[in-house]
Structure 1
Amino acid sequence: MGIFKTRQNKKYNYIPRHYQGEGNPFEIKHKFDEHRKTVGNVGLKGKFENAWDDYKNTPDKTANRRILIIAAILIFIFLLIIGFDLSIFFPKG
């Protein structure tokens, strides 16, 4: 026993009784990892480049516009409910 040596964990070759499949059944993997570019050993610069490409190449611009319109309508309704004076948004005539 050395003072500065760390203890190694024991390794077992355990296979579950009813497991029928490939790979390690104990591997924890996210559901969408195979669809992401940013997962893996790409490096820090590669991760930022892949994330930026994913951000720039969003195909559904109409959904973003729809969300902004819905948010604006909900804010307008909220301002009406709390009694905010909406006349500041309209020109005086």
Structure 2
Amino acid sequence: MGLLKLRKNKKFSYEPRYYKGEGNPFEIKHKFDEHRTTVGNNSGLKTKINNAVNDFKHNPDRDANRRVLIIAAVLVLIFLFIIGFDLSIFFS
């Protein structure tokens, strides 16, 4: 009995039935990862934010950008209304 030894996992040479032989069949990868600049090894928060802003600026679909900004503005106003924030400080 090996009290201090860990048991080794069994290894099998399993290959999926309909596997075509391209890359690793068990690798989980998102469909759009190669098209995005925000996915990958981003070292810091500043790099992540800069990549997201550049991706937002260079998006060819301007209507989607405008739609996201409108939805974000509406959600912020609803949140401010819920917490009872006084909007009169912005108006004279």
TM-score w.r.t. the length of structure 1 is 0.48
Larger radius of gyration: 1
